[in-house]
């Protein structure tokens, strides 16, 4: 029997990403629950248009004035506890998840992992960036962006899909890896495309002035994103960047992975 899959995304002011996120998962045969963290840019209204057609539920997480991954993960965990699907996918709005093989959907890849006795899947992160002077801050960005770097400070790092009944949780690991049960990771890593910034203005609006919750900081989270300045968010050409032949290609270069994000170069 083909496993059922529920993706859960916590979003705040992600209007540019919402249609691609929802339609991509829907076309893959994956249901989506949205956890809205007080969006004010039309994100929720876009999600509401897809209720019954990709989005199965919209829940609320009130905005308290600080980015709190701890609160987000607790709220997601509560949604997982209420779910009945066979597999759970932890996803962010600016991500696109799929197997490495061309022509295969995320649902097909998870079904294969399940059939092989795995209870979770790790994802390799490929971070997409505009070249200097380019602006992709519109809904069609995924059909344009080809430049990326392979971000791999350690492995495994992003175990973002797991079997709901396996007793696993990502609460203590910042949503990165899993604890709480016997981990049987699928032998094949999948791909996580991270559209981290669509333009310099988009990057600055996303990161400058962001306040992190005290609870998160006490856990040692967000170290890479603290102290980012406007100058560090200026895009520049780098030998670290690779280019796909087409935006949808899965022919990623895994040589010489980066242990740092672009603002740390």
Question: What are the tens digits of pLDDT across the range 34-55?
Answer: 999 999 999 999 999 999 999 9
Helix (H, G, I), strand (E, B) or coil at 15: helix
Reply yes or no on whether the pLDDT at 1 is more than 90. Answer: no
- Cα 49 from Cα 129, distance rounded (Å): 29
Q: Does CATH place domain 5-164+175-260 in 1.10.3470?
A: no
The CA-CA-CA angle for residues 32, 64, 79, to 5°, reads: 30
pLDDT digits (tens, 9 = 90+) for 91-138: 999 999 999 999 999 999 999 999 999 999 999 999 999 999 999 999
State the number of CA atoms in the 13 A half-sphere of 90 facing the CB. 29
What is the residue extent of each domain of the chain? 5-164+175-260
Q: Which two tokens stand for residue 130?
A: 């505009």
Q: What is the largest CA-CA distance in the chain?
A: 52
Count of C-beta atoms within a 10 Å radius of residue 19: 16
Q: Which residues contact 255 (CB under 8 A, 6 or more apart)?
A: none
Enumerate the β-bridge partners of residue 6. Answer: 31, 88
CA dihedral (195, 200, 205, 206) in degrees, to 10, reads: 30
Percent of the chain with pLDDT over 70: 100
- Cα 262 from Cα 265, distance rounded (Å): 5
For residue 197, count CB atoms less than 10 angstroms from its CB and return exposed for 0-12, middle for 13-18, buried for 19 or more.
Answer: buried
């Amino acid at each position: 029997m083909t496993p059922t899959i529920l993706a859960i995304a916590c979003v705040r002011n992600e209007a540019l990403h919402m249609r691609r996120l929802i339609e991509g998962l829907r076309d893959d045969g994956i249901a989506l629950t949205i956890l809205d963290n007080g969006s004010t840019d039309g994100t929720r209204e876009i999600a509401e248009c897809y209720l019954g057609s990709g989005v199965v539920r919209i829940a609320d997480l009130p905005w308290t004035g600080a980015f709190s991954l701890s609160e987000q993960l607790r709220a997601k965990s509560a949604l997982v506890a209420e779910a009945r699907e066979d597999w759970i996918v932890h996803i962010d709005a600016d991500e696109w998840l799929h197997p490495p093989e061309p022509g295969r959907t995320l649902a097909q890849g998870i079904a294969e992992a399940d059939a092989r006795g795995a209870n979770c899947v790790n994802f390799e992160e490929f971070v997409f960036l505009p070249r200097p002077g380019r602006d992709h801050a519109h809904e069609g960005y995924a059909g344009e962006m080809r430049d990326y770097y392979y971000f791999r400070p350690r492995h495994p790092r992003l175990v973002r899909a797991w079997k709901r009944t396996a007793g696993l949780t990502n609460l203590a690991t910042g949503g990165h890896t899993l604890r709480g049960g016997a981990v049987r990771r699928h032998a094949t890593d999948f791909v996580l495309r991270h559209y981290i910034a669509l333009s310099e203005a988009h990057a600055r609006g996303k990161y400058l002035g962001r306040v992190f919750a005290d609870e998160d900081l006490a856990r040692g989270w967000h170290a890479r994103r603290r102290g980012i300045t406007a100058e560090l968010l200026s895009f520049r050409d780098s030998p670290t960047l690779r280019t796909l032949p087409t935006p949808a290609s899965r022919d990623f270069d895994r040589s010489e992975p980066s242990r740092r994000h672009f603002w740390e170069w």
